[in-house]
Chains A and B, each alone.
Chain A
Amino acid sequence: MSRRLAHLSDEALVALVARADEDALAELYDRFGRVAYGLALRVVRDPALAEDAVQEGFLAVWRSAARFVAERARASTWILTLIHRRAVDLVRREQPRRTESLEGVPPAAGDDTEEQVWLGLQRGRVQEALRKLPDKQREALELAYYGGFTQSELADRLGEPLGTIKSRMFSGLAQLRESLGESGLKEERWNATESTS
C-alpha cells in the first residue's frame, strides 16, 4: 500500500500527516518503524514496552506533525527523537534500569533485504564514530542515549562530578557530530541550513 507516496520525501510525508493523511503515516512507519522499534527495544529492553514506545512515538508524530518545521530538522531526526523520548520516559517510569551490559538485545533475524543492508551500513558508520571517542565520553553518551540515564544519575553511577559529566556529554556529541558529518551527514538538503522564520 501507499505506493502513491513511495516517491515522496520524509518531509513531504510529515506535511501530509499534518493534514491527517493516514497513508502518509503508514508510509512513515514503513520507513522508520524498524529503526524505531530497534531503538526502543534497546532502551526499554522489553518487547511489549518497546511496542508501547513506538506506538506512542508515532502517535506523537500524528498529533504534532503540524508543528514540524522542515527548515529546522530532518523528518527522520524529528521522528526518532520523539521515539527516543518516549522510550526513555517509559523506561524511567516502568522499569528499574539495568546496569549491566548494553548488548543484551535479541539478535536480528538474518534477513538480507535492502533495508537490512542499508541499516548495517549506517550501523557501521555510527560504530566507527563511537570507537573514535575517548572511552569516558563514549560511556557517558551510551548510558544516556541507550540506557536512559539522566546526567545526574550518571554522575552518581560513575562517581564523577556533575560538571564533568555535562562537559563529557557535550564534547562527546560535538566530536561525534564532526566525525559523522564526514561520513554520515553529508547528504544535506537544500533547506537544512539556518531557519528563516
Chain B
Amino acid sequence: MERHGIHELSGAYALHALDPEEERTFEEHLAHCDECRGHVAGFQEVGALLAHDVEAPPPPPALRQRILDGARAERPNVVPLRERRRWVVPVAAAAAVAASFAAVGLGIWAASLSSRLDDERAALDGSEQAVSVLAREDADRIPLSGANGTLVVDSSGSAWLVVFGLDAAPSDKTYEAWIVHDEGTTPAGLFRGGGSHTVVKLVRKVPPGSSVAVTLERAGGVEQPRNDPVFATARSA
C-alpha cells in the first residue's frame, strides 16, 4: 500500500503539483523506479498536450530577442560548432595518420573486405539518430577536425561519426572511414554523406590512443586509403 502510494505520486509530479518536500522525496524514488519514470514520461507528454488547450495572443515580438540576448549573455562553456570548421588535424592524430598512410604506401595492409559496410545501411541520415547518438550517456564526444561534427565513442569503444552538412560524395566515390592505430590502418565503414546530418556507426571499435580518419575513395571502397583525409580526429590514450 505504501509502495502503491508513492507510485501514485507520478501524476502530481508530472504536473509539478507536489509540495517541495514531497517532490524531493519522489525524485529520490524516481531515480531507481523504472515504472515511475515511465509514468512520469507519459504524463508529461499529456501535460505538454494540455499546454495546447490555451487560446492566447502571440507573445510580444520583443520577447524573442530578449531570450536570445539572455542566452548569449550566459553562453555555456562550449565552443560553437561553426567556429571549428578548420582543417587542422590534432597533432597526435596528424602524426598517427601520416605514419599510417606511409605504412600503407609500403604495402602493409590487412585487407578486410568483409568488414566493409553496405552503403545504404551504413549511412543513416537523420536528425533523430544524430541526437540519440550525441546524447548517449557514458560516451566521449570528440570534435572532428576538417568537418563539422563529432566522434562519439562509448566505454566499450563502439563509435559513431556524426557529421553536419557533409557534402554528398560524387556518384563514383564514397567516403571511407579508417581506424588508425599503431598496428596500422583498418577500414571502418563506407558512407555517402549528403543531407543535413550523417550518422555512421563504425564497424570497428576505436581503442584509446587511436585516430579516426575519413577519406574520399572510389565507389565500393578500397582496402587502403589512397587519398588524404577529409577529416579526422583522435581519441586520447
**Chain A residues within 8 Å of B, Cβ to Cβ:** 7-9, 11-12, 14-16, 18-22, 25-26, 29-30, 33-39, 41-42, 47, 50-51, 54-55, 58-59, 62-63, 66, 68-74, 76-78, 80-81, 83-85, 88-89, 105-109, 119, 122-123, 125-127, 129-130, 141, 144-146, 148-152, 154, 163, 166-167, 169-174, 176-177, 180, 184-185, 189-191, 197
Contacts and interface: CB of A to CB of B under 8 A. Distances in A.
Nearest to B164: A16
A141 B53 contact: no
A25 B67 contact: yes
A33 B63 CA distance: 9
For the residues of A in contact with B, the DSSP-based class is: helix
Contact of A35 (B5, B52, B67, B197): B52
Interface of B: 5, 8-12, 14-19, 37, 41-60, 63-64, 66-68, 70-72, 74-76, 78-82, 127-128, 130-132, 134-138, 196-197
Contacts of A176: 46, 50
A106 B128 contact: no
A112 B170 CA distance: 44
B16 A88 contact: yes
Given A9-B127, A21-B81, A51-B59, A38 B11 contact: no
Contacts of A148: 16
B56 A37 contact: yes
B10 A127 contact: no
B131 A70 contact: yes
Given A38-B56, A70-B132, A197-B138, 11 more contacts: A34-B58, A37-B63, A62-B76, A69-B135, A70-B128, A122-B49, A123-B52, A166-B11, A169-B12, A173-B14, A197-B137
B54 A39 contact: yes
A20 B56 contact: no
B81 A35 contact: no
A123 B17 contact: no
Given A29-B64, A63-B74, A126 B49 contact: yes
